[in-house]
Structure 1
Amino acid sequence: MIGIYIGLDVHKRTVYVTEMNENGKIKERYEIVNRDESWNEFIQRYRTCEVEIALETSTSGKYAARLLRDNNFSVHLADPSNLALIFRSAKKNDREDSYKLAKLLRIGELPEVHISSRETDDLKTLVRYRRSLGEESTAIKNRIHAILAMHGIAIDESDIFGKRGMRKIEEAISKMTAAENIVMSDMLEKIIELNRRRQMIEDEIARISNNNEEAKLLMTIPGINVYSAAAIISEIDDIHRFDSKEKLASYAGLVPRQSQSGSRDQRGHISKNGPSMLRFVLVNAAHMAIKYSKRMKIKYLKLVKRLGKNRAIVAIARMLAETIWTMLSKRIAFYDEIGSLTEKKIESMRMRSLRPNV
């Protein structure tokens, strides 16, 4: 039986604590400083008690949740957007917020969000940073394309940022003004550096994923490599927290919004709820899946006539999310797996995992 319910209103510098018993009576209220020493005292105070702890999802709240979780406390992260719907009160302060968290937790009405494992958090950090490097590199490449176009320069290479393409760009910028030469040279150096950092992060992702059976299963899908497999795993965490394939698709924000009243049932664009990283990877993978999977290609060709290309691809991304739920839940490979391609991807992951840390 739970003896104590605690609501924590966590801020950057302070934490307000409300302690409530199983009957809803407030036992104590107090404030602590958001520092390691104060958290150590808090942990020691409740270490031997039967405690349930609730706090809101925020940058400071996530840190506190992970700290308490790692010290074997039962921690519940609340979704602040849903909390606002439950408590429509003008009275809002640290004392009141911590009380509401403790009360909702005690009566079983706390709108919770998932707390991922530390291993998943680490993988998610790497994956999201890898995406930011890619976005930064793309922005610089677009600027280079614009400057080349402004001078009427066309680089005759399939990948102008490959070795041969880069050499041709360097030759071209030597004919530009001194200022443009400086800017273009600096941007080319940044691309080289970003590529080096991207490869370093991908090597670390490969090291983490090399012995992960879920990653290997996901890589049986054409269009999903070690990076995208790691991204999916880091955003899903535990597939068993989703009761059905539809719930995973909904979590990815790939289901249409619905407005229903009486006999009227309207469905609009996808909700875009949930992690954008998961949706981004699934949509990208969908483009490859329709090329290599017969079943998904047939489905896509039927949808594209009715919905158009963009909406059809999103529908395939949803189909892919539902397929992934089945694969991970039942531990089975993709139904249209290309064995030789899977072997190549897994071998590439293994080789990258063996590279020394830079």
Structure 2
Amino acid sequence: IATSRRKRRAKTDKLDGETLLRALLAYKRGEPRVCAMVVPPSPDEEDRKRNSRERRALIAERIKIVNRVKGLLFSQGVVGFEPLKRDRRIRLEEVRTGDGRELPSHLKAEIVRALDRIELVLRQIKEVEAARDEVARNECDLSKVVSGMSMLKQLRGVGADFAEVLWSEGLYREFANRRQLASYAGLTPTPWQSGSISREQGVSKAGNPRLRTVMVQLAWFWLLHQPRSALAQWFQERVALDGGRRRKPAIIALARKLLIALWKYVHHGAVIEGAVMKPA
């Protein structure tokens, strides 16, 4: 809501209430860009996001513990130990310090406890992934049609994790047009134009950060797994015009175009031009 730019401005509950009321009246009159109305998800839709978000938190915790173990061993001159391998405990017994000594007892006990936490996190990740696959199967069985997650997984380069995040974080919603979808993901450009000054400030980043992050990652995977698609060819032509120097801005534009194409594919059945499907 627009506010006064005076250095010192009055602020009371009464003034705030009047400002909100004026903004609501202007919105009801149909004035554009007065305010934005939030569409909250239902409790079931919000709960559906928990699975993918928990998996991401567990992976971050796994990376943190693995780095901790490697750091402790590196301080003793030990390199090459992989805590995620199945023989981690056997290899820990064989580890020797850089000068040929056995690991100190307290340090070894700390690493053993860290391995316990890693095994717990790995087990929980498998449980979360099993729950994700079960939800996808149940949706297909109940609706008797291919659900949104299943449609996304049919595309080469889109795995179960990408499909779950894309569907639960954004594509399940109803959008009036592609601009609303791009704004929700925070992938819309932010221009700065005043007089003779005209430049771009990058994307707004005002939308869903999880959806925006996974779309940028998926855009890079799309170039790898769908090189003959129209979107990948557009990216290569766009980068070639700049001599290959502006790949990062171009990948953001590709992420926005790809998100819109996926939305049309899931909700309207519009096949992405040149996209390759996985074998049945």
Structure 2-normalised TM-score?
0.75
Q: Give the match for residue 123 of structure 1.
A: 48
Structure-2 separation of matches of 1:133 and 1:293: 30
Q: C-alpha separation between the residues in 2 aligned to 1:106 and 1:332?
A: 39
Matches within 5 A, 1:154-303: 154-155=79-80, 161-164=84-87, 167-169=90-92, 171-172=94-95, 175-210=102-137, 211=139, 213-236=147-170, 238-244=172-178, 246-294=179-227, 295=229, 296-302=231-237, 303=239
Name which of 229, 237, 257 aligns with 1:319: 257
Distance 2:256 2:94 in 1: 46
Name the CA shift for 1:188/1:333 in 2 (closer, same or farther; >3 Å): farther
Q: Does the Cα contact within 8 Å between 1:220 and 1:339 map onto a contact in 2?
A: yes
Distance 1:130 1:86 in 2: 41
Mapped to 2, the partners of 1:308 and 1:186 lie a distance apart of 46
- Distance in 2, matches of 1:313 and 1:177, equals 49
Q: Per-residue displacement from partner, 1:154-204 (whole Å, max 9, x unpaired)?
A: 338xx7513145643454279322232122212221111111112222222
Note closer, same or farther for the CA distance 1:170–1:322 as it changes in structure 2 (3 Å cut): farther
d(CA) in 1 for partners of 2:23, 2:261: 36
Correspondence for 2:267: 329
Superposition RMSD in Å: 3.1
SS in structure 2 opposite 1:155? coil
Offset at 1:97?
5.0
Structure 1: give runs of 5+ residues left out of the alignment: 1-82, 344-358
Residues 94-128 of structure 1: CA distance to partner in whole angstroms, max 9, x if unpaired?
Answer: x6656655564455255312211222101112222
Does the 8 Å contact 1:217/1:331 carry over to 2? no
Q: Distance in 1 between matches of 2:268 and 2:196?
A: 38
Q: Check the 8 A contact 1:218/1:229 in 2, yes or no.
A: yes
- The whole-number CA distance in structure 1 between the counterparts of 2:156 and 2:74 is 35
SS at structure 1 position matched to 2:157: coil
Q: Give 2:10's aligned amino acid.
A: A
Partner secondary structure for residue 49 of structure 2:
helix
Structure 2: gaps (5+ residues): 29-33, 141-146
3-state SS of 2:63 partner: helix
Count of aligned residue pairs for this structure pair: 254
Change in Cα spacing, 1:147 to 1:255, as seen in structure 2 (3 Å) is farther
Q: Residue 73 of structure 2 aligns to which amino acid in structure 1? A: L
Larger relative strand fraction:
1
Asked whether the 8 Å contact 1:258–1:268 carries over to 2, the reply is: yes
Amino acid at match of 1:188: L
Q: Name the residue aligned to 2:78.
A: 153
Q: Which residue of 339, 343, 349 corresponds with 2:278?
A: 339
Contact 2:156–2:276 (8 Å) recurs in 1: yes
Moved more, 177-186 or 293-302: 293-302
Match of 1:90 among 10, 29, 36: 10
3-state SS of 1:339 partner: coil
Give the C-alpha shift of residue 333 in structure 1: 4.8
Give the Cα–Cα distance (whole angstroms) in 1 for the partners of residues 246 and 90 of structure 2: 40
Return the alpha-carbon distance in structure 2 between the equivalents of residues 170 and 332 of structure 1.
Answer: 57
Q: CA deviation at 1:242?
A: 4.0
SS in structure 2 of the partner of residue 260 of structure 1? strand
Q: In structure 2, what is the Cα distance between the partners aligned to 1:173 and 1:215?
A: 48
CA contact (8 A) 1:286 1:320 kept: yes
Give 1:277 deviation, angstroms: 0.6
| Amino acid corresponding to residue 186 of structure 1 in structure 2 | R
In the alignment, is the contact (CA less than 8 A) between 1:223 and 1:286 conserved in 2? Answer: no
Counterpart of 1:178, as a letter, is S
Q: For residues 252-310 of structure 1, what are the alpha-carbon distances to aligned partners after superposition, in whole Å with 9 as ceiling and x for unaligned?
A: 12233211124532013322221111012112222321111023544444427434554
Percent identical: 23
